[in-house]
Amino acid sequence: MEDEYESLLPDSTPSQHMVAGACAGVMEHTIVYPVDCVKTRLQCLRPLEGARYAGLIDGLRTLMQTEGIGRSLRGIGAVVAGAGPAHAMYFSCYEQAKRSLLGLGWNERASYLVSAIGATLLHDAIMTPADAVKQRVQMFRSPYSGCIDCLRSVLRSEGVSALYRAYGTQLSMNIPFHMVHFSAYELGQDLLNPQRNYAPHTHVLSGAFAGGCAAACTNPLDVCKTLLNTQERCALQAAGTAASTEIGGPAAAAAASSPTQNRVIISSFLSAAKTVYQLEGLSGYFRGVQARVVFQMPGTAISWSVYETFKWYLRQRSANAKQQQSQQT
């Protein structure tokens, strides 16, 4: 008798979802990692001379030619350390919550959305510090020798709160991101795979569609998150100078731009959003949107296909083990 993919769902365990989710998360974030590096730099409001890219393709070409593939992978250790446990909790929470809510008679769409919110809260609690370290190391001419050096430096000079400075913004971004993401994925599956069989091509297409939609919708929040994480020096100096000009004229502006003055610290989403608009206008909120969409589409396609594959494999193995056990008895 051939087992159908969905028929294995009731027998799955949280540990199976966690293993599948961890594998999916690490692959999602690492396979197209250089694109993420360029995205971070494209979102800089005042990039340094060597990192003023015309777009994604120019950024990738310049990065590889001038810095090499090694620099394009800086920060990947933080991603691996964070993405595994974060995605393990993410997928496990989503599947278990969805199953429980559907069992209570909830509407399908409502159960997807509520489950996505719960999964995001757990995911971001783990991933936000990793993302803060990653983005600081990704910056052009980053002063840190690596992820460990960055982590030690931030903890020593700014405290642990600096690692969670973007947590509120991350949640503000990721809750709508994953609501769109999961809803779009389930919509894609409704259209391409209504029987919910194990069909790899439908998971790839639905995942890519979901990731692209969610990435484009939430890019303005991602720009603010990048500024909060990196505390981009040139942008903060420009913001401080502009504010001083409005308040005290040229003399105050000169004092604000002096290297002896303490630079501005962006500590909240509202101050980040204000700084982006102050320096770039509305267009600033869409810096790096192409790179973000290009990064997310293959990333989420890989994530969902790997997750569904591991989920199918683990369930098949569990079913085979039970069958062998029943035959022995």
pLDDT value at position 240?
65
pLDDT value at position 89?
87
Query: Any idea what the CATH number is for the domain that residue 305 is in?
Result: 1.50.40.10
Instruction: Give the residue numbers spanning the domain of 114.
Output: 14-231+284-328
pLDDT value at position 187?
93
Residue 140 three-state SS? coil
- Residue 54 burial by Cβ neighbours in a 10 Å radius (0-12, 13-18, 19+): exposed
**How many domains is the chain built from?**
1
- Is 64 inside any structural domain? yes
Query: Residue for token digits 């320096």?
Result: 279
Of 39, 99, 66, the closest CA to residue 299 belongs to: 39
CA dist 144 → 77, 133, 135, 177, 235 (Å): 14, 10, 11, 30, 19
pLDDT value at position 234?
76
Please tell me the distance from the alpha carbon of residue 61 to that of residue 307, in angstroms, as a whole number: 31
Please tell me the distance from the alpha carbon of residue 132 to that of residue 163, in angstroms, as a whole number: 6
- Is 36 inside any structural domain? yes
163, 154 contact by CB (below 8 A): yes
The structure's pTM equals: 0.73
- Is 246 inside any structural domain? no
Of 122, 131, 134, the closest CA to residue 165 belongs to: 131
Please tell me the distance from the alpha carbon of residue 43 to that of residue 59, in angstroms, as a whole number: 12
Please tell me the distance from the alpha carbon of residue 294 to that of residue 47, in angstroms, as a whole number: 21
Quickly list DSSP for 201-262: HHHHHHHHHHHHHHHHHTHHHHHHHHHHHH--HHHHHHHHHHHHHHHHHHHHHHHHTSTTSP
Query: Each residue's pLDDT tens digit in the chain (329 positions)?
Result: 333 333 334 556 777 778 877 887 788 788 889 999 999 999 999 899 889 999 999 999 999 999 999 999 999 999 999 998 998 888 888 888 998 999 999 998 889 889 988 988 999 999 999 999 999 999 999 999 999 999 999 999 999 999 999 999 988 887 788 788 988 999 999 999 998 888 889 999 999 999 999 999 999 999 999 999 998 887 777 776 554 434 344 443 333 333 334 455 788 999 999 999 999 999 999 999 999 999 899 888 887 887 788 778 877 888 888 888 888 76
- Is 274 inside any structural domain? no
- Is 8 inside any structural domain? no
CA dist 14 → 4, 9, 94, 255, 310 (Å): 20, 11, 10, 58, 13
Of 174, 203, 173, 178, the closest CA to residue 191 belongs to: 203
- Is 133 inside any structural domain? yes
pLDDT value at position 11?
55
- Is 263 inside any structural domain? no
Structure tokens at 237: 């100096």
- Is 6 inside any structural domain? no
